[in-house]
Amino acid sequence: MGDLLPPLTTDLEEAKANLAEYGFARVADALSPEELAEARARIESQAAGERDCDHAFLDGSGRTPQSRESIGRDGPNQRIWNLINKGEIFRSIVMKDLTQTLMKHVLGDERLGNDVLLSSFTANIAGTGGVPMALHSDQGYMPLGTAYPVVANVMWMLTDFTEENGATRIVPGSHREETPTEPVDPARSIAAVGPAGTAMVFDGRLWHGTGANTTDESRVGILSYFCRPFLRQQENFTLSLAPEVIAKCSPELLSILGFQTWATLGMVEGSVHGTISPRPDEFVTELTG
C-alpha cells in the first residue's frame, strides 16, 4: 500500500504534485490540536442532538431503502449536513489557507478570477458494522472520462483513519483514466489512512467510498466539497442558511457560499459580477407606470 499512498506532507506545492499524480494528497497537521478538539466536540454534540430530535440521517446498512422517505433512516453511519449552520469552527475551517489554495489550484481559472464555490460541507461518522460504500466519483453526473475536474473535496480526519475503522477507500490514479469502467472493482481500492488532523484533498474524478468500520469506535471525518462557479451546488445555501448565521459570515465566505454574482450567473435583478446579494426582504413584482 505504501507505494500507492502519497507521503504525508505540509508542503502545499508537494500536495499539488501529488494531486496530479495520485488524484489525492495527504496534508499533515492541517488542523491544530485546538481546532481538532473543537471540531470533534462540536460534531459529537451535534450528532447526539440530531439523533435526540429524530433529525439524524443514517446510512451504511447495505439495505435498499423501500421508499424515498426511508432514505437516511437506517444504518450505523450518521451524516450531518450543512455544517456552515452548525458551528463557527466549521466556518473557520472552510476558509483556511490550505482549503482555498488547493481548491483554487484544482478548480480555479486564472482568466476568470480563480473563483470556486463551496458545494456542501458535511460530517461522515462511520459506526461499527457499516458496509463499504459503493465506489463512486464525486462528479458522476458528468460524462465518464471528462478530462478535467469540476468538483474537488477535502476530507478532514477528526479521528485517526485506519484500514480497520473504515478509512475512505480510494483508487489511486483513477482520475486520469480516459475511459473508466463502471462499477469500479473494489479490489482496486486502498484505505486512505492518516492520523487525526490530516486533510485528504482529492480530485472529483477520483473513485472512492466510505470503508467498513470493524472496530468498536466511530471514525469521524468532515467533508468540504467544492465546485467550479458555474455548477449547481449540492447544498442550496441561499435557502438553507439561518439568518443569524448569514449575519456572521464574512463577504469572502458569502462569496464561496453562492451569494455573489459570478459573471452573469446567480444574478438578483440584474446584479453585476462580484455583487454579494443577501436574501431579499422585498421583491419587485407586477408594476404599472
Query: Which residue is associated with the grid cell 460524462?
Result: 143
Q: Higher model confidence: residue 80 or residue 179?
A: 80
State what percent of residues in the chain have pLDDT above 70.
Answer: 98
**Residue predicted with more confidence, 118 or 129:** 118
Residue found under cell 458535511: 122
Domains along the chain with CATH numbers: 2-235 (2.60.120.620)
pLDDT-derived band at 279, boundaries 50, 70, 90: confident
For residue 124, give the nearest of 220, 236, 239 by alpha carbon.
Answer: 220
How far, in whole angstroms, is CA 245 from its chain's centroid? 20
Q: What is the pLDDT of residue 131?
A: 87
Measured in residues, the chain has a length of: 289
Q: Which residues of 241-254 are buried (b: 16+ CB within 10 A; e: fewer)?
A: beeebbeebeeebb
Cell 467550479, residue located: 228
Answer whether 233's CB lies under 8 Å from 151's CB: no
Percent of the chain beyond pLDDT 90?
78
**Residue 113: its pLDDT value, please?**
84
Q: Is the pLDDT of residue 199 over 70?
A: yes
Please choose, from the candidates 23, 32, 28, the residue with its C-alpha nearest in 3D space to the C-alpha of residue 12.
28
Give every CB contact of residue 81 below 8 A, 6+ residues apart in sequence.
57, 120, 122, 235
CB 241 within 8 A of CB 94: no
Highest mean pLDDT, choosing among 89-98, 131-140, 173-182: 89-98
Identify the residue whose cell numbers are 463551496.
Answer: 118
Is 126:162 a contact under the CB 8 Å cutoff? no
Give how far Cα 41 sits from Cα of 34, 63, 78, 88, 159, Å.
11, 30, 15, 12, 11
61-94 pLDDT, tens digit per residue, is: 888 777 787 788 889 999 999 999 999 999 999 9
- Reply yes or no on whether the pLDDT at 180 is more than 70: no
CA distances from 47 to 81, 218, 240 (A): 10, 12, 18
- Give yes or no for residue 211 having a pLDDT over 80: yes
The answer to whether the CB of 200 falls within 8 A of the CB of 155 is yes
Q: Is the pLDDT of residue 19 over 90?
A: yes
Per-residue pLDDT at 1 exceeds 60: no
- Residue located via cell numbers 435526540: 52
Question: What is the reported pTM?
Answer: 0.94
